[in-house]
Amino acid sequence: MNNGIAGFQVWSDGSCLGNPGAGGYAAIAFDPDGKELAVVTGREKRSTNQRMEMVAAAEGLAQLPLGVEVTVCTDSKYVVDGMTSWIFGWKRRGWKKADGEPVKNLELWQRLDREVSNRKVKWMHVRGHVGIELNERCDKLANEQARLAKAGE
């Protein structure tokens, strides 16, 4: 399933029941021929939607070999904006925001930064909940994980 996208792909989504609340994430990785390489899911008893979105992207990238070209497709503007714009200033300022305050979710931004450092990554924002098949699949998996986290499983 290449969706008109060249190279490797990662589709990712995060979910929280409450914010903060029980969280779940999902990512699906594909090779350049559209073959599904991995489906990764997970959950946290207490998280935020933004954190789950970040974990999903990082876990998806971690499934791919170093040195590849990859497009990460996510409905999280927070992740896309963070990785295509904000991160450069944060790093210049020693991981501080423009107001001098520490970056929120620092360890996850640094993890994403490590995951992209040896890959050529393009970030693509997709609209959520509009019937895009892989986005809907990730959303369903992430929500299932959030429900399991809430149930204490």
Q: Which residues are catalytic?
A: 13-14, 53, 75, 129, 139
What single letter denotes the amino acid at residue 1?
A: M
Q: Which residues contact 135 (CB under 8 A, 6 or more apart)?
A: 11, 13, 73, 75, 126, 127, 128, 129
Contact criterion met (CB below 8 Å) for 119 and 70: yes
